[in-house]
Structure 1
Amino acid sequence: MNKLIKNIALLLCISVFISSCETIDYDDTNQNPNGPTSPVTSQLFTSALTWVPVITIDEVSILYMQHITQGQYPGSSRYETLTSSYDGWYTGPIMNLNEVIKINEGPDAGAALTYGATENQLASAKILRAYYLQYMTDSWGYLPWSEAFQGVANSRVAFDSQETLYNYMFAEVDAALAMISNAAGPTGDFMFGGDMDKWAALGNNLKATMALRISDVNPSLAKTKFEQAAASGMLILDNADNLEYNYGTDATSNSPWYDNFETREDYILSVTMVENLRSNLDPRLFEMAEEARDSVHPSPNFPGGIDAGYVGAPNGAVNGNVPDYSFITSDIIYEHDFPSPIYTAAQMRFALSEAALKGWTVTGDAATHYAAGIQASMDYWGVDPADATAYIAAHPYTGIADIAYEKWVALYLNGPEAWAEWRRLDAPYLPPSPFAAVQEIPKRDAYDPSVEDNNAANYAAMVAAQGPDNIYTKLWWDVN
């Protein structure tokens, strides 16, 4: 009897417990009450934007272009950066931008309206993605793209040719420009503050730059795309319209140049840069650089020897006593928030000069844009107007070599663009470092060894099409 009573009591307890459980709502047990309940595209876009300085302050390409060189650790100045990885681009900003685009093209687009109009979120994300992709393909050449972003479903993807990638980028930028509206811009846009006119300018200046880049391998497409960009009225013709990346003054948002020089002094002016400016009596020398602290040049060239304090270092040498040489102007290296140019009036004036030289339909002739490009560069660096006028008069336009040289000077510290244009034009002449094991300035980045290890068949097919995977193989558009 006692056993029976105990069993009945146990059953009653179980039934009470079960019935009480049925009244408990467990739906929110695994939900974070402080977390977002809808897609936050603004955060994804903000994160993607933080990668712009990786391009605008790419020290390796600046070293290749001999604007600067290194002190006691000259590895990159000797072309010892033999491989590099693109993985961070895919897992970082590209993934974030892909997600912004996916959300705004999918069923959650309405929930993302809090962070800007759908069409403008899409346009800015597509333009920024194309800007990043151009940097990537102009560094490595072939890249996984059309089959990429599938995760474990397809981790061994084929490489797209650089020609295919350029065609994709043109289509992407055109589509983005067509969808820009007067509605709200992306709220995560700390670079342009959601100003869609600036995104339209970025798209058109990118488009013109891409067009000129392929002008030797596909002149008809290059002409069409450049003329479209020029006709938009969005190409930068004045420094007031320069597109720049602005930094903050705190440790998390300040300029990488400031960080580079906060505790070390690794970068100094290259002898190539200093001597070109000196020999041409270029007044930008005094604005782009600081006087050396511990030495003077034995053969000054300016009247009164005012350039004696400006000394360039041999490229690739172990320049251990860096105070013997000139540093980058203190405005850049000792100010937290000196902005980095993305596209400038000088750069685009020289692009228009070359377009006019090619006979493309643009307003103005080659000589006019050439002189305006020098003037814009002089103004950007704060050169006295009389000195700028004298320099322009002493260096009249005669052809493509003049454009190439002045563009190289105007792109001072914009390594990726200077490197790409130097490869395309094969000018001006830059002497390879005599201290390098191979005395040849690199033409591309080589892939990280993991690419071949993890994707052998597609890697082999890519090498067969593009050429040997080393830093001296020319890219598709580099035919000079």
Structure 2
Amino acid sequence: MKKIKYILLLVLVSQTFVFTSCDSDFEEVNTNPNDPSSVPADLLLAGIIRGTANILQSSFNGGETGSCWVQHLGKTIYNGNEYYIPRQSSIDGVWETLYSVVAKDAAIMEGLANLQGNNNLEGVALVLKANAFHNLTDIYGNIPLTEALLGDTGNITPIYDDSQTVVYPAILAMLDNAISLLDGTGTIDAGQDIMYGGNWGLWKKYASSLKFKVLMRAQSGGYDATAELNALMNSNNLFSSNSDEAKLVYLSAEPNANPFFEALVNGGRTTEWSMGEELVELMKAKNDPRLAVYAQEVGGDGSGGGYVGKPAGIRDIGNSIFGDSGNISLIGTKYLEAEQPYYFMTYAHLSLLMAEAAEKGLITGSAATYFNQGIAASISANGVTGSPNVSYVSGSTGITQIAEQIWIALYMQGFEAWSEWRRTGIPVLPLAQDAIVTSIPSRYSYPLTQQSLNNENYTSAVANQGADKLTTSLWWQN
């Protein structure tokens, strides 16, 4: 019955079909209106991919919170986010989009593909749905999952599920199912698949690599991931080069250009953003060639002014030297291009996670080899040559080196950089100068709509997880 509702909902939302009450030629006009073979299950795919990328890459979301909270970026004006006053619209918008636009449409596509026997597309839908819930739980903590997406059945007050015992296992199960389904059966419309052009094998690699990342995050919270990590290593289904990685390459003009290009370049706000001091100084200390791509020289590239980052969270920024964009480095021009991709997951990130897993004895192989592989992948993706001045040293030093390189490699991947920094606690970052809370935020608070429209379950979630504050730690957090 639920599958039929998926079809009906798609019909209502897309208005693809027009129904008539005319009696003449009824059979010819209305032949099988609910036949799943007549409903293009691919129809939602591009919107799900773009919806995910746009909300997480938004300068207000991944930029002002994720990238600023991990001190990759700073702002020279309107910088309340830096001392930990996030926009309420960001808190509400990320929740609403990942549920209503991404996870809901992915579930509809999953149901339609299942009815059509299209294993490949069903697998893709599960990967995108799993990624949506993964982001939701890592941003907010306990979230609705088992009773989520059931508004069309009348359930508009879903319970919140425990992130550790329910949500993460459910995400892993979705990915396992996706990996199994992605077997070459069925088709993926290349025109709708704006990430992989219909290549089911690459979707399988993304599903497997995403599972590796989810397992490493769960492992940090005490989950025994050893057997599953080794199974993935032996599957031959993980990313093996930069060409495998999951990314959306944006187009050259609005409304399908990179959100940073649209907001900063087209919006005339490039000088309102700067590099963070912690990132610049660490990269300078390691003579990292990526710095020349990540950042502009003070006064513009070619000025000879070198690279200067801004300390985090100066409330009276206008009366500081850092309030003048001419004194600090701005975001590198490559990362402000219209076609700069949004990365769902990179080969560099996977390789560095493999290095961590090897160093911890969770998988076999050389941690140093994976470490150097990850740096090389990131260097190549940034179009530079050489390598930072870092030589891998096994043990606790190696764990620190890996976490630092993950932090560096995730530049401009705001929410992911924030999640990995919360997981490792490396590098040690100073509290914002004028912080209004006692630590760098651990999570988003819940949307105000949850307090008003789903108060009973919201209250229960807070009782189970801890106060609905930015500083309440998540279960896998360092």
- The reply to whether TM is greater than 0.5 is yes
SS of residue matched to 2:293: helix
1:46–1:243 Cα change, 3 Å: closer
Q: Distance in 1 between matches of 2:135 and 2:351?
A: 21
CA contact (8 A) 1:177 1:203 kept: yes
Counterpart of 2:290 (choices 273, 284, 290) is 284
Bigger drift between 422-431 and 243-252 goes to 243-252
Aligned to 1:299: none
Change in CA separation of 1:181 and 1:422 when aligned onto 2, cut-off 3 Å = same
Q: Which residue of 1 aligns with 2:311?
A: 314
Say if 1:200 and 1:141 are closer, same or farther in 2 by CA, change over 3 A. Answer: same
Give the equivalent residue in structure 2 for 1:13.
none
Between 1:376-385 and 1:169-178, the stretch displaced more is 376-385
SS at match of 1:160: coil
Q: Which one of 187, 200, 205 corresponds to residue 204 of structure 2? A: 200
Q: 1:332 corresponds to which residue?
A: 335
Tell whether 2:386 aligns with 1:367: no
Cα-to-partner distance string for 1:109-155 (whole Å, 9 max, x where unaligned): 3xxxxxxx611110000011101110111000111121122226222
8 Å CA contact 2:441–2:471 kept in 1: the answer is yes
Q: Structure 1 runs of 4+ off > 6 angstroms?
A: none
How far apart are the structure 2 equivalents of 1:311 and 1:231? 44
2:71 maps to 66
1:275 aligns with 2:281: yes
Q: What is the one-letter code of the residue matched to 1:310?
A: Y
Q: Is the 8 A contact 2:44 2:109 kept in 1?
A: yes
8 Å contact 2:217–2:423 — kept in the other structure?
A: yes
Asked if 1:90 is matched to 2:99, the reply is yes
Residue pair 1:126, 1:173 contacting (<8 A) in 2 also: yes
Matches within 5 A, 1:202-241: 202-220=206-224, 222-241=225-244
Superposed CA deviations along residues 398-452 of structure 1, whole A, max 9, x for unmatched, are: 3211111111111111122211111111111111111222242100010012212
Distance 1:27 1:213, change over 3 A: same
Identity %: 27
Counterpart in the other structure of 1:48 = 48
| Contact in 2 for aligned 1:349/1:373 (Cα 8 Å) | yes
Superposed CA deviations along residues 375-397 of structure 1, whole A, max 9, x for unmatched, are: 22222223333xx2x7244x655
The equivalent residue for 1:8 is none
The AA in structure 1 aligned to 2:460 is A
Aligned pair in 2 of structure 1 residues 24, 437: CA closer, same or farther (>3 Å)? closer
Q: In the alignment, is the contact (CA less than 8 A) between 1:294 and 1:325 conserved in 2?
A: no
**Structure 1: unaligned runs, 5 residues or longer:** 1-22, 110-116, 297-305
What SS class does the counterpart of residue 74 from structure 2 fall into? strand
Bigger shift: 82-91 or 268-277? 82-91
Alignment match, 2:463: 464
Q: What do the CA deviations read for 1:310-348 (whole angstroms, capped 9, x no partner)?
A: 111222232432232212211221x22122332222211
Larger radius of gyration: 1
The secondary structure found in structure 1 opposite 2:434 is coil
CA spacing shift, 1:24–1:223, aligned 2, 3 Å:
closer
Look up the equivalent residue of 1:330 and give its one-letter code: T
| Residue identity in the other structure for 1:156 | T
TM-score normalised over the length of structure 2: 0.83
- Following the alignment from structure 1 to structure 2, what is the Cα–Cα distance between the partners of residues 82 and 264? 18
Give me the whole-angstrom Cα distance separating, in 1, the residues matched to 2:305 and 2:261: 26
1:77-131: CA deviation from partner (whole Å, max 9, x where unpaired):
111017512122222122211111222334xx3xxxxxxx611110000011101
Relative to structure 2, which stretch is displaced further, 160-169 or 454-463?
A: 454-463
Q: Distance in 2 between matches of 1:391 and 1:240?
A: 26
Q: Which residue of 2 aligns with 1:391?
A: 389
Contact 1:371 1:392 in 2 (8 A): no
Report the equivalent of 1:81.
86
Amino acid at match of 1:72: I
- Secondary structure of the residue aligned to 1:423 is helix
How far apart, in 1, do the equivalents of 2:96 and 2:42 lie?
23
- Shift in Å, 1:260: 2.1
Correspondence for 1:245: 248
Q: In structure 2, what residue type is equivalent to 1:105?
A: N
Partner Cα separation in structure 2 for residue 199 and residue 428 of structure 1: 32
Give the match for residue 175 of structure 2: 173
Task: Check the 8 A contact 1:295/1:311 in 2, yes or no.
Answer: no
CA distance in 1, matches of 2:140, 2:434: 25
What letter matches 2:286 in structure 1?
Answer: N
CA distance in 2, matches of 1:102, 1:234: 25
- Does the Cα contact within 8 Å between 2:298 and 2:305 map onto a contact in 1? no
CA distance in 2, matches of 1:337, 1:253: 9
Q: 1:105 aligns to what?
A: 114
Which letter maps to 1:405? E
User: How far has the Cα of 1:370 moved from its partner?
Assistant: 1.6
Matched, 1:436 2:435: yes
What RMSD over aligned residues (CA atoms) do the two structures have, in Å? 2.7
Contact kept in structure 2, 1:56 and 1:342, CA below 8 Å: no
Distance 1:233 1:307, change over 3 A: farther
Shift of 1:308: 4.3
Which deviates more from structure 2 when the two are superposed, residues 191-200 or residues 96-105? Answer: 96-105
Q: How does 1:244-263 map to 2 (within 5 A)?
A: 244-261=247-264, 262=266, 263=268
Q: Matches of 1:176 and 1:432 in 2, distance apart?
A: 40
1:26 CA drift (Å): 8.6
Q: Please list, as runs of the form range in 1=range in 2, the aligned pairs for 1:148-187 lying within 5 A after superposition.
A: 148-151=148-151, 153-163=154-164, 164-187=166-189
- With normalisation by structure 1, the TM-score equals 0.83
2:449 corresponds to which letter in structure 1?
S
Q: Is the Cα–Cα contact under 8 Å of residues 52 and 245 in structure 1 kept in the other structure? A: no
Give the gaps of 5 or more residues in structure 2.
1-21
1:184 shift after superposition: 4.4
